[in-house]
Amino acid sequence: MKGIILAGGMGTRLAPVTLAVSKQLLPVYNKPMIYYPLSVLMLAGIREIAIITRPDNQDSFVNLLGDGSAWGISITYIKQERPEGLPQAFVLTRDFIGGDRCSLILGDNIFFGHGLPELLAEAMAQQSGATIFTYVTRTPEAYGVLVRDGRGDPADVVEKPKVPVSNEAVTGLYFFGPEVSDMAAALKPSVRGETEITDLIRAYIGRGDLVAQQMGRGYAWFDSGTHESLLQSSIFVQAIEERQGLTVACPEEIAYRKGFIDLDGLRRCADGLGNGSYGLYVQGLCRAFGSGAGE
């Protein structure tokens, strides 16, 4: 299974901040936004990950994440010269995907929930077709929404409906088979001049090959691409971390718990993190795991 993080685009909803820095490098509480989608892929057990960036800010991502080896993963960087719709990600990563299944996650999406690893494992186990994740929202007009038939099966996806036909928003986390690159390349641009992820999902619905997994009450999902949602997601993460004493989306901890790195690797990660709250947390993990208390 290959992982893809779409971190390109212009981030216009967060202007003027994004005139100088990529949206996915902005902080969500105490860590860069991209740590959150990266952590989701790592929780799924995916170790080969491609990050799609704009040409002008790719070096910043490389400086932050490197080649991923510190976390026991492999990161490939792919330039997106011009954003032409979400399905373009599968065209750009055709060679990277090869004959494998893949997971795409949007670089501004944040997911949290106790059962998230199990939910991801179900999607990972699927042998064919696609899996999307949905979330009930009060503002369906802001998203693509899933329409189900009388049996509860996926029937259609409608992009930002003016008259709500469903309150089940499609989140920015998807699992697809290797055929997705060809299917994405065959899509025709919409009136916006871009290919649409809703058209790709409809193609899978037409094949009878789509699983739609709804994230229920135990989950939180944020699209952190606006000033309001960026603040809300930061406040949410701060509340969770201060109340539980755990850090959300910590690649170092995930890498150790998944067996991607050993204790010495975790210690090497901690050495470069300084004495802020995040660095102190990873240092504490080293002590706990070293004594056997954190296993």
| pTM to 2 decimal places | 0.96
Q: Residue 120's pLDDT is what? A: 97
HSE (side-chain half, CA atoms, 13 Å) at 95: 4
For residues 112 and 240, what is the distance between their CA atoms, to the nearest angstrom?
A: 10
Q: Residue 11's pLDDT is what? A: 84
Residue with tokens 């802020």: 276
Give the chain's count of helices (H) and strands (E).
Answer: 11, 13
Q: Residue 190's pLDDT is what? A: 93
Radius of gyration (C-alpha) of the chain in whole angstroms:
19
For residues 31 and 65, what is the distance between their CA atoms, to the nearest angstrom?
A: 12
Residues 6+ apart with CB under 8 A from 58: 77, 79
Chain mean pLDDT for the chain: 95
Contact at 8 Å (CB) between 111 and 174? no
126 burial type by CB count under 10 A (0-12 exposed, 13-18 middle, 19+ buried): middle
Residues 6+ apart with CB under 8 A from 201: 130, 132, 144, 154, 157, 170, 210
Task: Kindly give the parts of the chain with pLDDT less than 50.
Answer: none
For residues 1 and 176, what is the distance between their CA atoms, to the nearest angstrom?
A: 10
Residues 6+ apart with CB under 8 A from 138: 167
Percent helix, percent strand, percent coil in the chain, to nearest 5: 40, 25, 35
Secondary structure string (H, E, C) spanning 225-257: CCHHHHHHHHHHHHHHHHHHCCCCCCHHHHHHH
Terminal CA-CA length for the chain: 27
Beta bridge partners of 27: 32
Q: Residue 10's pLDDT is what? A: 81
